[in-house]
Amino acid sequence: MRAKNPIKLVLALAVIMGGMAQANDTTTAGTAAPSDDPYLWLEDIHGTRSMDWVKAQNTVTQKQFADSQEFTKTRDRILEVLDSNARIPYVERRGDYLYNFWQDKTYPRGIWRRTTLAEYRKSDPHWEVLLDIDALNKAEGKHWVFKGGDCLKPAYTRCLVSLSPGGGDAVEVREFDIPSKSFVKGGFELPVAKTQASWIDDNHIYVGTDFGPGSMTSSSYPRIAKVWTRGTPLSAAVTVYEGKTDDLAVSASHDRTPGFERDFISVAHDFFHSDTYQLKDGKLIHLDVPSDAANADPHREWLLVQLRSAWTVGGATYPSGALIAIKYDDFMAGKRQFTTLFAPDEHTALSNYAWTRHHLILDIMDDVKSRLDVLTPKDDGTWAREDMPGAPQFSTVEVVDTDPDNSDEYWLSVTGFLTPSSLERGVLGEDQAQTIKQSPAFFDASRFEVSQHFVASRDGTKVPYFEIAPKGMKLDGGNRTLLYGYGGFEVSLQPFYSGSMGRAWLERGGVYVIANIRGGGEYGPRWHQAALQANRLRAYEDFAAVAQDLVKRGVTSPAHLGAEGGSNGGLLMGNMLTLYPHLFGAIACEVPLLDMKRYTHLSAGASWIAEYGNPDDPKQWDFIKTFSPYQNVKADATYPPVLFYTTTSDDRVGPVQARKMAAKMEGMDYKNVWFFENTEGGHGAGADNKQTAYMHALAYTFLWDRLQ
């Protein structure tokens, strides 16, 4: 897969569902809280008064929506999907083995396991269990949630395993020995914190963690990168780079590719600006690429640069959204003659790319639908291009794993709204991709059809959306319709198969719609940048335009139209509630940002200033306040029913914004405001499948019940 900075991977995951080292710390030190907010007491996450309020709210919401046969049926049918042994066990190759993490009814917290390719091809493969999280929790009296294992190649016998207490982003890191299936006594071990750790060699790791006061950025990520030697105390680790407090994060990594071993420091200044340095002989050598490059990726003899903005260099101009390549040694020697591997047009954007040993696979979106190209570097410096076989209509095809050090093997995930997901494997130049695993159909897709539509937003921009609806649907405005959106951080919403959504919404006769609004990455950087900061309202105008088009086309009516979104999508929902309440019959607002006046002082909020702006700057607050639901909710308005749900252990956005919004609306005497807070699960819906099923069923039941 694409070689990415580990910190950027964490940040990318954070925005999809947006942390702090400790979830009970909600304000930035030295920051005065406003005196005119009567609900500040709810920012005390684990305080007795706050938790008593949460428990009371949960009781009311559960009684209203969870004490029914329909809820139980929905929850159980979703749980059947999540626990099904027929699901695809997606794998990651590490040497001769394929690794997988698996949760089901027998293993609620999951097992980390591995098998061989020969076994994996079988309908019922034999798995070697490496770590049983439920057994670990029983032995230690904990509630650990598995957050992954980084294994030292090429042997892959030692791993740095991350365990979260409750599902948040803060993790405990422990060294794990694969042959003995046990944690290494006296090995590398780090207490719970917002840690980044990666291998250098058998006896050294790079580590960024909470070393003490001042060692974390104001965004709560590591500020200092160190080298830690086996057998020495953490206090003896040697600093290799120290960033600034107002940087977003600092990380260090070692590339162990044989013949191309290199060390790198990455300094993320904000979500969209960073600098990369090669650490060589104790000196830092800056990679002179634009700081807003989406990716600067050294791989073997190559350097790939993915551009957010146009770049004029070496006598040529490369457009925003392009992927360009140059020999790494040539670049470091001062040459700047790049080759363009991908350039976007009005309809296309680069979604991702992945190296195999001799090839580069491009994942391209064409009006939000997938296609794959294979590029091969030639001896003369040019690149050959070949199309991979086409994907089904309205589908997403992505490379989920490769083995770039050793072979041209690739693994593809193929999925669509009505097409159960499949996992394919092939070897470029040898074997065409063959289906290795196929997910079962969890609902009868023959009753439904998928269509794509485009609508003009307020400023005339054409915005696409996908619609999954019953065949022969009457366009009489009476269909319960659920409109989902996100619209931020360059995240693209592509077609996907969801047995849970199919069972809980489509099979009941509902229509499901995905809005590809600006702020996302569906059309590359331009689509994202069109809704940044002062232009944030464009994303909300896009979503409102889709809602209005659904009504205009006769698909639904405001009374039958629901909206759902989480995290940044929760902020979207808060703005639909306060800016466009007349368009919706019910809104599910999940793990949301809502108080944009204080968001930078709550949990990881400081890390998102590049997306939203800084509310502590009066000039920026002038535009931020236009999309801050907590400040914009009014006592004399008419709002649709709304459900806020969050989790106590969320250390990204945190639970307090949802709490305060619900309390404020209730204080204004709005009766159709509902709140639910799960204790575990972090920024997701739950720490295990049962919790996830409960949370999803609660949202679907609320929406269906209120869209009468």
Q: Does the pLDDT of residue 422 top 70, yes or no?
A: yes
Catalytic (active-site) positions: 567, 683
Q: How confident is the model at residue 258, as a pLDDT?
A: 93
Q: Does the pLDDT of residue 25 top 60, yes or no?
A: no
102: left (phi over 0), alpha (psi -120 to 50) or beta: beta
CA distances in angstroms from 69 to 312, 469, 506, 700, listed in the order given: 63, 25, 18, 14
- Give strand ranges (E) for 582-628: 586-590
Domain that residue 611 falls in = 442-706
Q: Does the pLDDT of residue 7 top 60, yes or no?
A: no
Q: Is residue 391 part of a domain?
A: no
Q: Does the pLDDT of residue 19 top 70, yes or no?
A: no
Q: Does the pLDDT of residue 343 top 90, yes or no?
A: yes
Residues 6+ apart with CB under 8 A from 688: 103, 108, 109, 110
Name which of 78, 77, 84 is nearest 102 in CA terms: 84
- Give strand ranges (E) for 501-542: 511-515
Q: How confident is the model at residue 635, as a pLDDT?
A: 96
Q: How confident is the model at residue 523, as a pLDDT?
A: 98
How long, in residues, is the chain? Answer: 708
The number of folded domains in the chain is: 1
* pLDDT-based confidence at residue 708 (cuts at 50, 70, 90): confident
Q: How far apart are CA 189 and CA 173, in angstroms?
A: 5
Considering the chain, what percentage of its residues have pLDDT values greater than 70?
A: 94
* pLDDT-based confidence at residue 12 (cuts at 50, 70, 90): very low
Q: What is the mean pLDDT of residues 299-319?
A: 97
* Token code pair at residue 99: 């690794």
* Token code pair at residue 592: 């949301």
Q: What is the mean pLDDT of residues 345-366?
A: 97
Q: Is residue 647 part of a domain?
A: yes
Q: How far apart are CA 12 and CA 122, in angstroms?
A: 34
Q: How confident is the model at residue 684, as a pLDDT?
A: 83
Model confidence pLDDT, tens digit, residues 633-654: 999 999 999 999 999 999 899 9
* pLDDT-based confidence at residue 35 (cuts at 50, 70, 90): low
pLDDT, the chain, mean: 93
* pLDDT-based confidence at residue 158 (cuts at 50, 70, 90): very high
Q: Is residue 408 part of a domain?
A: no
Model confidence pLDDT, tens digit, residues 202-215: 999 999 999 999 99
Name which of 155, 149, 96 is nearest 120 in CA terms: 96
Q: How confident is the model at residue 391, as a pLDDT?
A: 63
Name which of 315, 325, 306 is nearest 383 in CA terms: 325
Q: What is the mean pLDDT of residues 7-32?
A: 36
Q: What is the mean pLDDT of residues 519-542?
A: 98
CA 570 to chain CA centroid, Å, is: 14
Q: Does the pLDDT of residue 74 top 90, yes or no?
A: yes
Q: How confident is the model at residue 282, as a pLDDT?
A: 92
Bond into 154 cis (ω within 30): yes
Q: How confident is the model at residue 394, as a pLDDT?
A: 80
- Residues 251, 225 contacting (CB under 8 angstroms): yes
H helices then E strands: how many in the chain?
15, 39
Q: How far apart are CA 630 and CA 578, in angstroms?
A: 9
Q: How far apart are CA 288 and CA 278, in angstroms?
A: 11
Q: How far apart are CA 23 and CA 647, in angstroms?
A: 11
- Residues 681, 691 contacting (CB under 8 angstroms): yes
Residues 6+ apart with CB under 8 A from 201: 152, 254
Q: Is residue 432 part of a domain?
A: no
The domain that holds 564 is classified in CATH as: 3.40.50.1820
Q: How confident is the model at residue 380, as a pLDDT?
A: 83
Q: Does the pLDDT of residue 4 top 70, yes or no?
A: no
- Three-class DSSP category at 9: helix
207 phi and psi angles, rounded to 5 deg: -145, 135
Q: Is residue 106 part of a domain?
A: no
Q: How confident is the model at residue 578, as a pLDDT?
A: 98
* Token code pair at residue 657: 């914004």
Q: Is residue 58 part of a domain?
A: no
Q: Is residue 291 part of a domain?
A: no
Euclidean distance between the first and the last CA atom of the chain, given in angstroms as a whole number: 46
Q: Is residue 1 part of a domain?
A: no
